[in-house]
């Protein structure tokens, strides 16, 4: 691990006045609900404070409370937020505006959505500078370009002229960070700033963010649900739940000796490293699924060369086995999965299912195969028709296959819901009334509805809270054991691979570069890229030796 030690020796003199002081802050909404309850914490200069908690814990709301940008209907109903000793809620509207992006900068999730799509990024950064400083247009632009170099973009002058859609997710996140730093803030609020980035990119961006903040002596609030990030980058940490501050303290102390029950369960869930899946017993039987030289090329109007999303991959999966296809975004793993379930038709190669070549079977004929091959989709919410109730969503796969009475259908839906540990009373709900974890379970239940022989899981554990992720992993393990499920796992979450897959295939730029039993890949990775992927995983137990 070549990562520099990110911790400064000790947080300095605690008697100094904190830069940001939250004093029993409560936030309520117009409908009478209370979203934050008497939260008190402080942020000092040159300190990195982690804020952790599950979705709905009020982490983001805390950041928005600080800059006084509460969602509609929300207001501070008690306590005070003080910046440098001055109450922010009491400030004049104009003064607050100067504060935002000036002394207090906010870096949000999904950087691409935060940037103006019709303005080059250099100009956007310069605008922020000019909003907060007496500086000419040219000088502001030069400062922006210089800062782009500082946040680690190669060829910053060219990048400054780029539009947001021309940047990758990691580059866009760096641009947003540059935008936050340009006005020389004193406080940086990073709200899940690296969510959705690949592990290796996430580590690079966070390294850079923390290094620049240390150089400038900023107070940083790092909001995340990843305890690995907290362990590696933060000095102190605050644990939140349901709008309340559960516990706060030094990172090492809190993570190793949490006082509160809630912190303990959360840390235990994050630390859980379930046993590796046993390696496959060699079987003489033919593989259930076999892929030979699968190729998927996309022709693009801009380049003569086709884009080789999947470039000749081969693997086979035996009955009862799980293969994990691991790689970063853009490696072609999702495309490969979609070819197998025939959402896309492969350019070349062969896909065998149960010994039959199904690669180019016409759509109509393939439909009868669908009940045997199912897929669990990546984003749980968008993969469920928003206007259908859970019962209809679950009944869809088998409704057309076999005639049954409404009563039988209800019973079957209830059984499916029980199989994924959801209260059968949820059958009448709409997808938007469910939590992300419940939506994911419904997605899994849908895939199980026809008792398929083979399931493709596309990123089953991404973007979920730690405890929910652990529950989903448990659920899938349970299904593997009870139904002797054959599965293809598409993911970049190595932790889930460890506990779910019998074999791992690492994909990089459309090719499988390493393939073997799970323990072999984890214990003795052969390829440099595999080692890089493994190293990017931030473990909650300090591996850096500080």
Partner 1 sequence: MRWKDARSFILSRPGVLVGLTLLGLQLAAIMFAPFIAPFSPIDANPIDALQPPNAVHWLGTDELGMDIFSRIVFATRVNLLIGFTAVFGSIAIGVPIGVLIGYYRGWASTLAMRFFDFIQSFPVFVLGMAMVAVMGQEIWSVAIVLALLFVPMFARLVRAEVLSLRERPFIAAARCSGAGDGAIMFRHILPNAMTPVIVQVSISIGMAILLTAGLSFIGAGVRMPAPEWGLMVSSGAQQMILGIWWIALFPGIAIVLSVLSFALLADGARAFFDPRTRHGASGHA
- Under the rule (CB under 8 A), what is the footprint of partner 1? 30-31, 338, 341, 343, 367, 370-371, 373-375, 377-379, 382-387, 396-397, 400-401, 430, 432-433, 443, 446, 449-450
* SS3 (DSSP) at 328: coil
Task: Write down the least CB distance from residue 377 to partner 1, Å.
Answer: 5
Closer residue to partner 1, CB minimum distance, 159 or 342:
342
Closer residue to partner 1, CB minimum distance, 286 or 382:
382
Q: Which of 487, 426, 497, 422 is nearest to 454 (CA)?
A: 487
Task: Write down the least CB distance from residue 423 to partner 1, Å.
Answer: 18
Task: Write down the least CB distance from residue 383 to partner 1, Å.
Answer: 4
Closer residue to partner 1, CB minimum distance, 491 or 518:
491
Q: How is residue 28 written in tokens?
A: 């309520």
Distance (Å, rounded) from C-alpha 134 to C-alpha 156?
A: 24
Distance (Å, rounded) from C-alpha 255 to C-alpha 263?
A: 8
Task: Write down the least CB distance from residue 446 to partner 1, Å.
Answer: 7
Closer residue to partner 1, CB minimum distance, 93 or 387:
387
Closer residue to partner 1, CB minimum distance, 144 or 375:
375
Closer residue to partner 1, CB minimum distance, 379 or 537:
379
Task: Write down the least CB distance from residue 345 to partner 1, Å.
Answer: 13
Closer residue to partner 1, CB minimum distance, 190 or 442:
442
* SS3 (DSSP) at 456: strand
Closer residue to partner 1, CB minimum distance, 108 or 452:
452
DSSP string, 167-191: S-HHHHHHHHHHHHHTT--SEEEEE
Task: Write down the least CB distance from residue 299 to partner 1, Å.
Answer: 17
Backbone φ and ψ of 46, nearest 5°: 60, 35
Task: Write down the least CB distance from residue 426 to partner 1, Å.
Answer: 14
Q: How is residue 479 written in tokens?
A: 């299904």
Task: Write down the least CB distance from residue 301 to partner 1, Å.
Answer: 17
Q: Which of 5, 39, 27, 58 is nearest to 191 (CA)?
A: 58
Task: Write down the least CB distance from residue 432 to partner 1, Å.
Answer: 5
Closer residue to partner 1, CB minimum distance, 225 or 440:
440
Q: How is residue 492 written in tokens?
A: 């970049």
Closer residue to partner 1, CB minimum distance, 319 or 372:
372
Alpha-helical runs (H) found in 101-226: 111-114, 121-132, 137-150, 156-160, 169-181, 199-216
Task: Write down the least CB distance from residue 389 to partner 1, Å.
Answer: 8
Q: Which of 224, 142, 242, 222 is nearest to 182 (CA)?
A: 142
Closer residue to partner 1, CB minimum distance, 214 or 370:
370
| Inter-residue long-range contacts of 98-102, CB under 8 Å, 24+ positions, other chains counted | 98/132, 99/67, 100/67, 100/68, 100/69, 101/128, 101/131, 101/132, 101/180, 101/183, 101/185, 102/131, 102/132, 102/183, 102/185
Closer residue to partner 1, CB minimum distance, 216 or 370:
370
Closer residue to partner 1, CB minimum distance, 304 or 406:
406
Q: How is residue 246 written in tokens?
A: 């559960």
DSSP string, 475-519: HHHHHHHHH--EEEEEES-HHHHHHH-SEEEEEETTEEEEEEEHH
Task: Write down the least CB distance from residue 457 to partner 1, Å.
Answer: 12
C-alpha separations of 526 from 261, 402, 513, 520 in Å? 41, 49, 10, 9
Sign of torsion over alpha carbons 344, 348, 349, 352: positive
Distance (Å, rounded) from C-alpha 347 to C-alpha 329?
A: 21
Task: Write down the least CB distance from residue 158 to partner 1, Å.
Answer: 32
Exposure on the CB side of residue 515, measured as CA atoms within 13 A: 14
Distance (Å, rounded) from C-alpha 174 to C-alpha 187?
A: 17
Distance (Å, rounded) from C-alpha 235 to C-alpha 255?
A: 12
Q: Over the Cα atoms of the chain, what is R_g? A: 25
Distance (Å, rounded) from C-alpha 131 to C-alpha 80?
A: 27
Closer residue to partner 1, CB minimum distance, 409 or 532:
409
Task: Write down the least CB distance from residue 90 to partner 1, Å.
Answer: 28
Task: Write down the least CB distance from residue 401 to partner 1, Å.
Answer: 7
Distance (Å, rounded) from C-alpha 537 to C-alpha 520?
A: 17
């Amino acid at each position: 691990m070549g990562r520099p030690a990110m911790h400064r020796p000790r947080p300095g003199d605690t008697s100094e006045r904190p830069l940001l002081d939250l004093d029993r802050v409560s936030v309520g909404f117009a409908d009478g609900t209370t979203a934050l309850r008497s939260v008190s914490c402080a942020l000092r200069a040159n300190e990195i404070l982690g804020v952790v908690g599950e979705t709905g814990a009020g982490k983001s709301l805390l950041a928005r409370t600080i800059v006084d940008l509460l969602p509609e209907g929300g207001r501070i109903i008690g306590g005070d937020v003080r910046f440098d000793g001055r109450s922010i809620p009491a400030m004049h509207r104009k003064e607050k505006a100067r504060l935002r992006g000036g002394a207090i900068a906010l870096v949000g999730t999904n950087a691409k959505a935060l940037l103006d799509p019709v303005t080059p990024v250099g100009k956007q950064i310069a605008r922020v500078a000019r909003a907060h400083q007496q500086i000419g247009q040219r000088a502001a632009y030069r400062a922006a370009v210089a800062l782009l170099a500082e946040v680690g973009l190669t060829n910053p002058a060219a990048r400054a002229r780029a539009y947001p859609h021309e940047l990758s997710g990691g580059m866009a996140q760096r641009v947003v960070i540059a935008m936050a730093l340009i006005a020389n803030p004193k406080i940086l609020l990073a709200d899940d700033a690296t969510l959705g980035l690949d592990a290796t990119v996430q580590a690079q961006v966070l390294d850079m963010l923390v290094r620049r903040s240390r150089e400038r002596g900023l107070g940083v609030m790092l909001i995340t649900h990843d305890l690995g990030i907290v362990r590696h980058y933060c000095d102190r940490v605050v644990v939140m739940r349901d709008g309340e501050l559960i516990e706060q303290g030094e990172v090492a102390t809190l993570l190793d000796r949490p006082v509160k029950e809630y912190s303990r369960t959360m840390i235990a869930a994050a630390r859980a490293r379930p046993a590796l899946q046993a390696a496959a017993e060699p079987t003489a039987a033919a593989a259930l699924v076999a892929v030979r030289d699968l190729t998927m090329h996309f022709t693009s109007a801009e380049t003569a060369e086709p884009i080789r999303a999947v470039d000749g991959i081969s693997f086979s999966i035996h009955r009862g086995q799980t293969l994990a296809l691991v790689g970063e975004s853009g490696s072609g793993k999702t495309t490969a999965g979609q070819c197998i379930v025939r959402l896309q038709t492969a350019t070349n190669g062969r896909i065998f299912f149960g010994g039959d070549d199904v690669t180019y079977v016409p759509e109509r004929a393939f439909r009868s195969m669908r009940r045997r091959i199912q897929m669990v989709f990546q984003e749980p919410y968008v993969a469920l028709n928003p206007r259908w109730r859970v019962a209809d969503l679950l009944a869809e796969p088998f409704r057309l296959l076999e005639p049954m009475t409404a009563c039988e259908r209800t019973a079957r839906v209830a059984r499916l819901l029980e199989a994924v540990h959801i209260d059968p009373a949820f059958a009448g709900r709409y997808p938007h009334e469910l939590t992300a974890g419940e939506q994911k379970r419904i997605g899994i239940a849908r895939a199980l509805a026809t008792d398929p022989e083979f399931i493709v899981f596309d990123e089953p554990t991404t973007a979920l809270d730690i405890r929910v992720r652990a529950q989903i992993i448990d659920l899938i393990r349970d299904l593997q054991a009870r139904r002797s499920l054959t599965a293809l796992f598409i993911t970049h979450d190595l932790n889930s691979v460890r506990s779910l897959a019998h074999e791992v295939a690492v994909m990089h730029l459309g090719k499988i570069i390493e393939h073997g039993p799970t323990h072999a890949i984890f214990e003795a990775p052969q390829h440099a890229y595999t080692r890089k992927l493994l190293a990017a995983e931030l473990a909650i137990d300090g591996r850096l030796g500080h």
